[in-house]
Amino acid sequence: MTIGFALDSAIAVLVVAVSCWTIIARASFAAVVGFVSFGLLLTLVWVRLDAVDVALTEAAIGSGLTGALLLAAAARLRTSEFATQAERPSMALRVATALLSATATAALAGALFLLPSPAPTLAPAAAANAGATGLGNPVTNVLIAFRAMDTMLEKVVLLLALVGVWSLASDRFWGGPPSPLRGANTEGPLAFLARLLTPLGIVVGIYILWEGADHPGGAFQGGTILAAMWLLLMMSGVANAPATRFRSLRLVLISGPMVFLVIGLGGLWLGEAFLAYPVAYAKPLILVIEFVMTLTIAVTLALLLAGPPTREASR
Amino acid sequence: MNATVFGLCGAMAAGLGLYGLITDAQPLRKILGFNLLGAGAFLSFGVVARRGAAAGFGGDPVPQALVITGMVVAFAATALAVALLLQLFNTAGAATLDTNATSEGNDPPVT
C-alpha cells in the first residue's frame, strides 16, 4: 500500500510538472515534447487505474499519433513563431484566466470528491451480459456490443474529419497524393528500420486486435499500430503516400462504418433492435466488424496525419 | 486510495490546459492547451471508472470504453485543427489569429 502510494504520488507530481512545462515553455517544439512525455506518463497512470485498454490507446493515439502530428506542425511553423510571441495578452487578462482555471480545477476536483458512495457502476450489468457475446474483455464488449452506436458514430466522425482535411486541398490537387512526410532518403537508417520493423509491427497489430476479445487490446489499439507502420513506411520513403482519388482506398475508408451500419440495420430487420446481434451469430458478426474496422481505423488515422493532397494526381 | 491523487492530477491538467488555451496567442499552443484540457477531463472520468470497480473488474468498463472513443475523436479533431492551421500559414504567410497582422501582410501566394 505505502510503496504503491509513493509510486502513484511520484507519477502524479511528474504529470503535473510536465503539464506545467507544456503551457509555459517558450518554444512550441519544446512544449510539444512536454506534451508527448505527459501522454507517456498518463499511460502509466491508466495502468495504475487498472484500465490497460485505455493505457494502450493513450500510448498509441493520445501520445504517439497526436505527438507526431503536433511535432511536425511545430517544426513547420517555427519560422513564424517569434512574430506571434509578441502578441501577449495583458496582465489583467492573464490573472483573470488564472482565476478561472483555478476555479475550474477546484470544481472538477470537488465534483470527484463529492461523488456518492458507493459509486454507481455498470460493471455488474456488463459482467451479467458478457455471455451474450462470447467475449472475455468487458471493454471490448462495451465498445462493440453494448454501446456499439457510439463506436459506429465515432467511425463517422473520423471520416468527416478526413473529408475536412482533404477539402483544404486546392482544386488542382484534388484527388492527388498528400505531400511526402519526409524527403525520400531510401538509403538511410530510417529506411532500414522501416523494412525491419514493419513486418513485426503488422504481426503485433493483428495480435493486439485478436487478443482484444479476451484481454486488453482491440480494434483501436491494433489499428493504430498498423497506421504507425504505414506512416513509418511513408516517412522513410519506402512507400509513397497514395493518391486520394483511388477508388479502392476510398472503399476501405468507408467500409468500417458501412459494415457496422449494414449489420446494425440487419438487427433491426431481424426483429430485435438497431445494432442488436442475433445471439447465435454474435461472435462471428463482432469479428467481422472488428476486422473491417481495424483496417478502416489504420487507413483513416494514417491519412489524417498525412494531411491534404498537395500534388497533382498522375493520370 | 490512489484514485484520489490521480483525480487531483486530472483536474490540475484540465485547469492548466484551459489557461494555455485562453492566454497563449499562438494557435498551435491553443491546440496543445485544448488537448491538455481534454486529457485532464479523460483522466477525471477514468477516476470515476476506477471508483466503480465491481463484479471482479478493476474499473467500470463503460466509462473506460467512452474514454477510448473520446481519445480517437480528440485525435480526429486535432488533425483537422492542425490541417486548418497549416493552411492558414501557407496562404497568409503567418500562423496568427490577429486579423490586423494578416490583412496588412503580402498577398497570399497562389499554391
What does the block give as the cell for A102? 483555478
The reported pLDDT for the residue numbered A172 is 83
State yes or no: pLDDT of A161 exceeds 70: yes
- Chain B interface mutation, best of A108, A113, A225, highest count of B Cβ atoms under 10 Å: A108
Of residues A28, A53, A97, nearest to B26 (C-beta): A28
The reported pLDDT for the residue numbered A174 is 83
> What are the CB-based long-range contacts (under 8 Å, 24+) for B85-94?
B85/A73, B85/A77, B85/B27, B85/B28, B85/B31, B86/A73, B86/A76, B86/A77, B86/A307, B87/A168, B87/A308, B88/B27, B89/A76, B89/A77, B89/A80, B93/A80, B94/A80, B94/A83, B94/A84
Percent of chain A surpassing pLDDT 70:
94
Instruction: Mention every residue, 6+ apart, whose C-beta is less than 8 A from residue B10.
Output: A108, B39, B40, B41, B42, B43, B44, B46, B47
State yes or no: pLDDT of B111 exceeds 60: no
- Residue A304 CA to residue A124 CA, distance in Å, equals 38
Task: Please state, rounded to an integer, the average pLDDT across all residues of chain A.
Answer: 84
Residue A48: list chain B partners with CB under 8 A. 2, 6
Region A112-134 average pLDDT: 75
Of residues A12, A45, A139, nearest to B65 (C-beta): A139
Of residues A4, A94, A126, nearest to B23 (C-beta): A94
The pair phi, psi for residue B10, each rounded to 5°, is: -65, -40
Q: Report the residue of chain A nearest B58, measured CA to CA.
A: A50
- Chain B interface mutation, best of A101, A129, A133, A290, highest count of B Cβ atoms under 10 Å: A101
- Residue B84 CA to residue A172 CA, distance in Å, equals 18
C-beta atoms of A85 and B2 within 8 A: no
| A149 and B68 Cβ atoms separated by less than 8 Å | no
B26-76 pLDDT per residue, tens:
889 999 999 999 999 999 998 888 877 776 777 788 888 899 999 999 999
The reported pLDDT for the residue numbered B90 is 85
Q: Report the residue of chain A nearest B45, measured CA to CA.
A: A112
Domains and CATH numbers, chain B: 2-103 (1.10.287.3510)
Residue A128: list chain B partners with CB under 8 A. 55
Region B95-101 average pLDDT: 68
Of residues B13, B77, B111, nearest to A19 (C-beta): B13
The reported pLDDT for the residue numbered B103 is 45
Of residues B43, B54, B66, nearest to A42 (C-beta): B43
- Residue A117 CA to residue A219 CA, distance in Å, equals 34
C-beta atoms of B12 and A141 within 8 A: no
CA distance to partner chain B, nearest, from residue A197 (Å): 24
The reported pLDDT for the residue numbered A185 is 61
Residue B55: list chain A partners with CB under 8 A. 123-124, 126-128
C-beta atoms of A69 and B50 within 8 A: no
CA distance to partner chain B, nearest, from residue A161 (Å): 6
Of residues B35, B79, B89, nearest to A80 (C-beta): B89
The reported pLDDT for the residue numbered B12 is 92
DSSP symbols for A231-283: HHHHHTTSSPPPPTT-HHHHHHHHHHHHHHHHHHHHHHHTTS-TTPPPGGGHH
The reported pLDDT for the residue numbered B81 is 94
A33-84 pLDDT per residue, tens:
999 999 999 999 999 888 888 998 899 888 889 998 999 889 888 877 776 6
The reported pLDDT for the residue numbered A84 is 66
C-beta atoms of B23 and A57 within 8 A: no
> Peptide bond before A309: cis, by omega within 30 degrees of 0?
no
The reported pLDDT for the residue numbered B75 is 93
What's the farthest any 2 CA atoms get from each other in chain A? 67
Tell me how many degrees the CA angle A30-A305-B17 measures, rounded to the nearest 5: 45
Tell me how many degrees the CA angle A216-A293-A161 measures, rounded to the nearest 5: 110
| B85 and A70 Cβ atoms separated by less than 8 Å | no
Region A138-145 average pLDDT: 79
- H or E segment at A43? helix A28-48
Region A127-146 average pLDDT: 75
- Using 50, 70 and 90 to split pLDDT, how confident is the model at A7? confident
Find residue A301's DSSP bridge partners. none
